[in-house]
Amino acid sequence: MPEVIFNGPEGRLEGRFTQNKKPGAPIAMILHPLPQLGGNMNNPVAYQLYHQFVDRGFSVLRFNFRGVGRSQGEFDSGIGELSDAASALDWLQSLTGDARQCWIAGYSFGAWIGMQLLMRRPEISGFISVAPPANFYDFTFLAPCPASGIIVHGDADRIVPKDDTEKLVERLQAQKGITVNYENIKGANHFFENDMDTLNTTIGDYLDKRIPEIGEI
């Protein structure tokens, strides 16, 4: 899991990168939760998302948004962080130009950034959105959502109520041409502290269903 430093919009960005050097290997990028509440690329959920993709033969990048860890800059309420994500994806693609698929996975604040990036980058073919903060941020930009994916939520989440997430899911599932799965993990809170194994199984099962679209990795 080599440490990497690459250029972002406001200076250097710090990341961790695992590369599958097999030609055509798919790529994935992981986006961490809100920096103002201590979110960083080593957050347990972000870390597990990273390894779900690594274990399935993806080249995977996770990185710190501006102002986090060794990444330069200051928190920018999502605008700058979206630019960071776009720059990070550019860097990832510069090393893996023949990737057969590109995925975005984000947790909480990172899920909101990831879904915005999804709208701007047509090469993204799948997404994983864990505990998207549908009560804090506007997701109406997903009209239409350009790719299929999965939204995972905990039914004991007191930070993002289940009803807000389910309204988002209903809007996306009503759209044509994509399939958005929804998994509600019983008893899990926003941090999945006691339910990490269930979260991993849920995400892993979904990826295993989608991987046949890619072909042999």
pLDDT of the residue at 145: 96
pLDDT of the residue at 1: 64
What would the two tokens of residue 179 be?
């399939």
User: Which DSSP helix (H) or strand (E) runs through 154?
Assistant: strand 149-154
Mean pLDDT of the chain: 96
Distances in Å between the Cα of 99 and the Cα atoms of 35, 199, 204, 205 are: 30, 26, 20, 22
pLDDT of the residue at 212: 84
Domains of the chain, each with CATH number or no CATH: 3-213 (3.40.50.1820)
142-167: average pLDDT: 96
β-bridge mates for residue 17, sequence order: 61
Asked whether the predicted pLDDT for residue 217 surpasses 80, the reply is: no
How do residues 43-57 score in pLDDT, each as one tens digit?
Answer: 999 999 999 999 999
Q: What order of strands is seen across the sheet that includes strand 126-130?
A: 3-8, 11-18, 59-63, 27-31, 102-107, 126-130, 149-154, 180-185
SS3 75: coil
List all residues 6 or more positions away from 201 whose beta carbon is below 8 Å from its beta carbon: none
How do residues 68-110 score in pLDDT, each as one tens digit?
Answer: 999 999 999 999 999 999 999 999 999 998 899 999 999 999 9
